[in-house]
Amino acid sequence: MAAKDEADTPDRALVDQWRDILALHARTQCELDRALHQHGLCASDFEVLDVLSDGPGPAADGSYRVQEISERVHLSQSALSRLIARLEKDGLVERALCAEDRRGVRVTLTDKGRALHGEVRPVQRAVLTKMLSPR
């Protein structure tokens, strides 16, 4: 039995490390949601605004395809579509059909979305600094 316990030690350390990562992510996500809530956003909302504000998107008009956003915010396509619809309803983003592929949708940040992102960005960065800085 002792040999089995020794063999499990590297696996145990790996599992413990993974659980620590998950716990840090969960605590950080909750802290972000609390801080951003007073601005009418959740952490996922902000992530989409942040991606869109990173600079001109790959398209000539500066927009991003939903798939391109999905790869950066790690949400399912359906969850991201619902989130984008909510942001559009709030006037923070605009959606349009892709000119090159009528099945695709492109998303751009509105002036209102850019202003809110600028207002909230320091709040998000402060939470990340607090939660992710070495203690």
Q: If DSSP states are collapsed to H, E and C, what string results for the chain?
A: CHHHHHHHHHHHHHHHHHHHHHHHHHHHHHHHHHHHHCCCCCHHHHHHHHHHHCCCCCCCCCCEEHHHHHHHHCCCHHHHHHHHHHHHHCCCEEEEECCCCCCCEEEEECHHHHHHHHHHHHHHHHHHHHHHCCC
Rounded average pLDDT over 118-131: 97
Per-residue model confidence (pLDDT) at position 2: 52
Which pLDDT band, with edges at 50, 70 and 90, does 73 fall under? very high
What is the average pLDDT across 25-31?
96
Average pLDDT over residues 3-14: 72
pLDDT-based confidence at residue 90 (cuts at 50, 70, 90): very high
Q: Which of 42-51, 68-77, 108-117, 119-128 has the lowest mean pLDDT?
A: 68-77
In this predicted model, which residue has the larger pLDDT, 62 or 84?
A: 84
pLDDT reported for residue 126: 97
Tell me the domains of the chain and their CATH numbers. 2-132 (1.10.10.10)
Q: Global pTM?
A: 0.83
Residue appearing with tokens 């203690």:
135
Q: What's the CA gap between 88 and 85, in Å, rounded? A: 5
Confidence of residue 60 (pLDDT cuts 50, 70, 90): low
Residue 106 CB partners (closer than 8 Å, separation 6+):
57, 59, 61, 63, 64, 65, 66, 95, 96, 97, 98
- The closest alpha carbon to 48, from 87, 5, 89, belongs to 87
Higher per-residue pLDDT: 26 or 97: 26
